Structure 1
Amino acid sequence: MSEYSEIDDLIPDVDMPAEFVERINRAPAEITDEAETFMPRRNFLKLTGIVGGGLVLGFALSGAPRTLAAPKGTEASTDTAFTSNVFTPNAYIQIKPDGTIVIAAKNPEIGQGVKTTLPMIIAEELEAPWESVSVIQSDIDAKRFGRQSAGGSQSTPRNWRPLRQAGAVAREMLIAAAAKTWGVSKAQCFADQGFIVNRENNRKLSYAELAGTAAELPVPNGKKVPLKKRSDYKLLGTFVPGVDNHSLVTGKPLFGIDQKLPGQLYATYTKCPQFGGGVKQANLQEIKALPGVVDAFVIEGNGIQTELLSGVAIVTKSTYEAFQAAKALRVEWDLSSAATDSWEDIQQKASALTDKPGAAKKSKGSVDKALATAHKTVSGYYTYPFLAHANLEPQNCTAWYRNGKMDIWAPSQTPQSIPGLVSSAVGIPAEDITVTQCRIGGGFGRRLMNDYACEAAAIAYRTKAPIKLMWNREADTAHDFYRVGGFHKLTGALNAEGTLTGLRDRTITFYPKDADDSRPVRAGNASSGNLQCPEIPNLSIEAHPLPLQVPTGWWRAPVSCSLAWVYQSFIHELAVAAERDHLEFLLEQFGAPRWTGRRRAGDFNTERAIDVVKLAAKNGDWGRPQKDGQGRGLSFYFSHLGYFAQVAEVTVDEQNNVKVDRVVVAGDVGMLLNKSAGVNQVEGSVTDALSVLAGQEISFENGAVQQSNFDTYPLLRMPAQPKIEVHWLSTQYPPTGLGEPAFPPLAAAVTNAIFDATGKRIRTMPISKEGFKVI
């Protein structure tokens, strides 16, 4: 099937409601579609003359992000990566006189590998040898870089074309410079790994030698420069280790938590355990008398959960002293507006509601008729809990307010939104707020929200000194934006031939309590597109509303992370009831190879689904006999533009101890740009998803979370790690992201395998609730 036409213009905000887009876009007004798509010719400016054999041309990056958060003007902040002795054809590239090619990585790095992969795209078009490339993290600057965010696995698809154009612009200017130097036509010259080569005599000029001449030439239109054919790629599609790997394993200060300023103080911020509660009074004088405490005070906040809630700030001379002082804090809370939600109460209400018809969200054909005439009906009630993000690096932020300006160093997935949010919360004009992005020790959607940055800014504004705000693990668990829990009463109709003729899902949609609008809570909405079975002739999705005050947010593979387990488990349940092979039954739900929409990136392509399912089944030994106590399960899901199928093999003993022996993954993300990052993301997704399935849940009582640390919110331990095999379909579609789409299929593959081994159907997450233990 032919490739859709240049999906780069058609990328939706996949699985991301409108509020996510609005939050990302709460950034300077200069972010435009034009800025994201290409750097037009009129935006290039010659800034200086030749100095030492080079020239700064265009949007020269004004300063490299500092490894340590040192104030500008000090030795530690001196910009050594970008100088005037270089050729800079656009915001991303500089070529130094010694031949070093500096490429800026624009988007936040949260472990998904974009700090390596995005510069690889530029280097490929530039024909730059990777060993000559030095990658730096860019400044936050909407004028030069457009949107800078990490969410929805969109960094690759959104930047695929503009970064290719950036590299191609520089390449074409260097070719033109060589042609001018030799007095030949451009057609006689070609770029090859840091050199321009003369086709007739094989003479070469290095990029460094051509920099000065290239800088004097007109800058070509990024939309019109020729781009390389995929068959000519030399770098993309290879195995390239992460550019930060050495720094990571040697403990270099890359993360938000590593930042340090001269005279820096440390702070904690204590909020009401019940969501939405405020401070009445606290034992501030006692706290101020404790060792190392510089100040303690109440911040009223603006009442917005994603910005600044009421709390008590404690400022000290060390993190340890801050945490110790926080333990001694005694607060009388104002609970007049606090949440009172109870997970047990919600479960009881949901169970009763899903037994009744709900408001129709999607209807096709007549499910009632299909059920009434069915040869066999199948029903199942599936539930899954709220989840915390549990980033390895807890929330933190460094801020310094001085001379009417606020500098912020933040590990944020949406750094461009911080000035607007801090302005709203603290009252400082957004134009007086500068943000430096830091490497992030785990995001998974939690750091799309910047409440911790607002808290740090508010404390720094009051303290008038550089401060680092640190959350401990207990605060991180108690004040998250949680993945929403869910409930689904599913009923399916099978005819005499074992064909699925109808399906109904009665579910729950949570809405903000006392909200003025009718929008569901963040990431709390399911739709028929999540089912991904276009051949079902009769379909009904019905929803019952429930109010919720617990804050929710986007969690790795939002919506898909939970619904894939529900629907792919139930498809297996139907296949078993129909006495049919699960692989055959699943493929039947896709129908003929085709697009189900308008051939846009977010539309479901059944051909790609069929191909990855077959690839996973082949490499996962589908149909091969197994021993007693062993089982094999299959699952598929399409999310965040990626198609993934997984086969899990398990062994279950008589005590219901589950050993996941092997997980075989098949994926189609178009062209895989970096094999290292690709395998890393798949292995991380499988491990993360298995950890969630095994024993993680967030419950709450009277509006407060009951879990506090990893003893009550357990992560998977190393002995439970399965063998993971990854297989790729290399297709002609443009590349898509990988941080999320490999996550959703895992849970159903494992629970389907457990059924295969034991005959026991699991319909509750985590599986520990049904007596199974992953070992």
Structure 2
Amino acid sequence: MSAPVLSRRGFIAATALAGGGLMFDLRIASAQAAGGVLNAFVRIAPDNRVTIGAKNAEVGQGAKTMLPMLIAEELDIDWAQVTIEQTHADAAIFGPQSAGGSRTTPREWLPSRRAGAAARAMLVAAAAKRWGVEPATLTTRSGRVLGPGGRSLTYAALAADAAAMPAPELEKVALKDSATFRIIGQSIRGVDTPAIVAGKPLYGIDVSLPDMLHAVFVTCPAFGGTMKSANLDAVRALPGVAHVVPIKGDGAPESLVDGVAILSKSWWTANKARDALEIEWDDAAARAFSSETLAEGAKAKLAGKGEAEVLRSGDPDAAFAAAAKTVEAQYHYPFLAHATLEPQNCTARFADGKVEIWAPTQNPEAGRTAVAKALGIEPAAIRINLTRIGGGFGRRLMNDYMVQAAAIAKAVPGTPVKLIYTREDDTRRDFYRPAGWHRFRAAIDGQGRLTALHDHFVTPGTGGKAVRAGDASASEFPAGLGPAILYEQSLIPTNMPTGWLRAPGSNGVAYAFQGFLDEVALAGGRDLPTLMLELLDGATELARGPNQPPFKTARARGVIEKAVAMSSWADRARLPKGEGKGFAFYYSHMGYFAEVVHVAMAEGMPVVRAVWAAGDVGSHIINPLNAVHQVQGSIIDGLGQALVGQAITQVDGAVEQASFDTHPLPRITDAPPRIEVAFVTSEDPPTGMGEPALPPLIPALANAIFAATGRRVRSLPIRPEMFA
């Protein structure tokens, strides 16, 4: 997640195009690429239009627009000159192409700019040679090189000459002074927005190929179950059914699980045919798991000592023994599904030992590896075409649907196969945000200061290892800021496959910690912003994990003070009865966010009137329009998780929820009428926006509900019976 550090010289090659024009092959070797290269290609046409390749998957986070903005800025062209093309997936050419963890911006900030600057340098060198002047005497503007005496040449006119120029060293190429930026910092509409509004095919689910068959894939309802028998011949005999393909799993839910694929020219026909499919499953072991037994196991674990110490700093035992007051509380949050609007899908065609894939994937190279292993072919025999993604939030970091589509296609070589999950499939075959249980204790001294914090965290896992996205963090706030700390972790088994959900490792934990710290602040005679600022006075920087920038307390203070000011926090006592404001701060994915929520009780449930969000994601907001949308989307997403009623439960090893009636998404009417967003810029390089605005929203909401009602929300989701 750190900015790339060039491990060896990057290079740029230029090729003259037939009929005029120029293509730059911009390659940057970086540590993250593990010996691979980043290729952000630039193609200059004879009419001086510039095509820029967008290499990362577009999940709605804006990368398809933002990355070309960086290149166009340093190339010094007008945005109106730019055409953007989505590249295919190939780490050997393009370098890292994953979309997750808010990593794209910090990873690409310098490499993409250097790519554009290198192309500009070669064009300037070509003009200098033609005019017989020094390159330093020339400038550029709007896709032209400008010289002494009013001379001017378009980039297109210089294409052939530039192709023969020696390549500059990317680490040494001169970058623009930020004061001269004309594209970075401007609000630019998403490149795909007009096509989306017009309903044009962009997404994986829109892929259509000649002679394509549609597929549904039926698997065991209970996670881990295997197939014993099925009436395959009876289903094959149904009208319209082209093939029925049994699939043998490899035991990994992110790869292949046992199931039966039904193929037809019509997806509707294939899906209806599953009604006649009768499968006997071996799922006895899986059926032992349920939400009820999981909760009982967590309760028993919380009552005892933690199984492992995640962090012990200072002397927590002594601090609790000397405390003037102690505060205790337990918090819980449930499993969550990603519930992407576009259900999982993938199209694959297998022929001659090779497979071509059209996939809405956030992690294409991991998908390539998984497909190669499952099909027994070389990774080089797989081509992955990236489609736009209709919602990811981490779900499409897992490539099970890609592997399944490829395996089904291998059974009918030469025929394209399009696998689409039903909404029920999508909900019941997710990789869920893990549930969590926390038992907190805090010690407060005679001056109301926090002197010790103890969290016993119960999370799913076995064998001493938490499930994916279920680990406790030793750096969880306020670790390193003065109070003695004891963080413990215990594990409870589950058969639920888990995965990363927007702000993984932070979305549930932030709610628990910031909710409890609000209790601690009030017990010490303070409000939460005051407590946070007191804690932040104890240090300037805190080291984080490997390849992570340090946590800077000044940046945290900056967003806290901004959120307090913009929300008129000091005037909250003047609110009418039944209304309240709540605050929370959180640092995640290199972003600092503080948020205030204003709620009013209406018909027995809290209604959000307004949200104020202040964030620090570095020195530049590359595309302000998109940045604001990302924050607003995070806020609405968080409100949906907490207020709309989202939770995943299971009985007999299987998920109970099936569609949006039982795992609802927030509607337009659930969005608050007022969401104000402000950015506090700092000197640090810019970082991503997809994740960090979500974690503080839910605790700010819960703390606002307490301010309005006097009732603590210590379990999610929020339900009417909590206020009865």
**1:386-425 pair list within 5 angstroms:** 386-425=335-374
C-alpha distance in structure 2 between counterparts of 1:9 and 1:433, whole Å: 27
C-alpha distance in structure 2 between counterparts of 1:593 and 1:689, whole Å: 30
Q: CA deviation at 1:316?
A: 0.8
C-alpha distance in structure 1 between counterparts of 2:667 and 2:81, whole Å: 39
1:45–1:577 Cα change, 3 Å: closer
1:407–1:494 Cα change, 3 Å: same
In the other structure, the counterpart of 1:738 is: 689
C-alpha distance in structure 1 between counterparts of 2:39 and 2:458, whole Å: 50
C-alpha distance in structure 1 between counterparts of 2:104 and 2:26, whole Å: 21
In the other structure, the counterpart of 2:680 is: 729
C-alpha distance in structure 2 between counterparts of 1:238 and 1:730, whole Å: 15
- CA deviation vs aligned residue, 1:218-246 (integer Å, no higher than 9, x gap): 11111110111212211101100000000
C-alpha distance in structure 2 between counterparts of 1:738 and 1:177, whole Å: 39
- Kept in 1, the 8 Å contact 2:20–2:45? The answer is no
Unaligned runs of 5+ in 1: 1-5, 11-32, 61-88
- Kept in 2, the 8 Å contact 1:57–1:90? The answer is no
C-alpha distance in structure 1 between counterparts of 2:226 and 2:141, whole Å: 63
Does residue 258 of structure 1 match 2:206? yes
Amino acid in structure 2 at the alignment position of 1:740: E
Amino acid in structure 1 at the alignment position of 2:443: A
In the other structure, the counterpart of 2:281 is: 333
619, 622, 642: which one aligns with 2:569: 622
591, 596, 611: which one aligns with 2:558: 611
In the other structure, the counterpart of 2:263 is: 315
TM-score, with structure 2 as normaliser: 0.94
1:278–1:601 Cα change, 3 Å: closer
C-alpha distance in structure 1 between counterparts of 2:437 and 2:284, whole Å: 30
Calculate percent identity across the aligned residue pairs.
44
Q: Tell me, what secondary structure is at the counterpart of 2:439?
A: strand
**1:28-107 pair list within 5 angstroms:** 34=7, 40-41=10-11, 44=12, 51-56=18-23, 58=25, 91-107=40-56
Does residue 705 of structure 1 match 2:655? yes
In the other structure, the counterpart of 2:35 is: none
- Kept in 1, the 8 Å contact 2:25–2:42? The answer is no
Q: Tell me, what secondary structure is at the counterpart of 2:551?
A: coil
Q: Tell me, what secondary structure is at the counterpart of 1:548?
A: coil
In the other structure, the counterpart of 1:758 is: 709
77, 81, 102: which one aligns with 1:132: 81
1:129–1:364 Cα change, 3 Å: same
Q: Tell me, what secondary structure is at the counterpart of 2:541?
A: coil
C-alpha distance in structure 1 between counterparts of 2:285 and 2:409, whole Å: 27
364, 372, 375: which one aligns with 1:426: 375
- Kept in 1, the 8 Å contact 2:437–2:459? The answer is no
1:322–1:444 Cα change, 3 Å: same
Amino acid in structure 2 at the alignment position of 1:741: P
C-alpha distance in structure 2 between counterparts of 1:56 and 1:598, whole Å: 41
In the other structure, the counterpart of 1:191 is: 140
Unaligned runs of 5+ in 2: 28-37
In the other structure, the counterpart of 1:534 is: 480
1:758–1:50 Cα change, 3 Å: closer
Q: Tell me, what secondary structure is at the counterpart of 2:489?
A: strand
Q: Tell me, what secondary structure is at the counterpart of 2:715?
A: coil
Q: Tell me, what secondary structure is at the counterpart of 1:529?
A: coil
C-alpha distance in structure 1 between counterparts of 2:721 and 2:177, whole Å: 53
C-alpha distance in structure 1 between counterparts of 2:110 and 2:17, whole Å: 31
> Quick check: 575-584 or 251-260, which moved more?
575-584
- Kept in 2, the 8 Å contact 1:530–1:560? The answer is no
468, 471, 474: which one aligns with 2:418: 468
496, 500, 516: which one aligns with 2:446: 496
1:476–1:233 Cα change, 3 Å: same
> Quick check: 376-385 or 528-537, which moved more?
528-537
- Kept in 2, the 8 Å contact 1:301–1:425? The answer is no
1:45–1:721 Cα change, 3 Å: closer
107, 111, 117: which one aligns with 1:158: 107
- Kept in 1, the 8 Å contact 2:481–2:538? The answer is no
C-alpha distance in structure 1 between counterparts of 2:639 and 2:529, whole Å: 22
C-alpha distance in structure 2 between counterparts of 1:746 and 1:55, whole Å: 48
- Kept in 2, the 8 Å contact 1:103–1:135? The answer is yes
Q: Tell me, what secondary structure is at the counterpart of 1:623?
A: helix
Q: CA deviation at 1:770?
A: 5.3
1:750–1:45 Cα change, 3 Å: closer
Q: Tell me, what secondary structure is at the counterpart of 2:500?
A: coil
- CA deviation vs aligned residue, 1:662-686 (integer Å, no higher than 9, x gap): 0000011011100111011001100
In the other structure, the counterpart of 2:589 is: 640
Q: Tell me, what secondary structure is at the counterpart of 1:748?
A: helix
611, 616, 621: which one aligns with 1:663: 611
Amino acid in structure 2 at the alignment position of 1:714: P
1:747–1:45 Cα change, 3 Å: closer
- Kept in 1, the 8 Å contact 2:350–2:416? The answer is yes
Amino acid in structure 1 at the alignment position of 2:431: F
> Quick check: 748-757 or 200-209, which moved more?
200-209
- CA deviation vs aligned residue, 1:661-710 (integer Å, no higher than 9, x gap): 00000011011100111011001100000000111100112211111111
C-alpha distance in structure 2 between counterparts of 1:8 and 1:283, whole Å: 55
- Kept in 1, the 8 Å contact 2:56–2:97? The answer is yes
Q: Tell me, what secondary structure is at the counterpart of 2:202?
A: coil
- Kept in 1, the 8 Å contact 2:52–2:68? The answer is yes
C-alpha distance in structure 2 between counterparts of 1:291 and 1:657, whole Å: 51
TM-score, with structure 1 as normaliser: 0.88
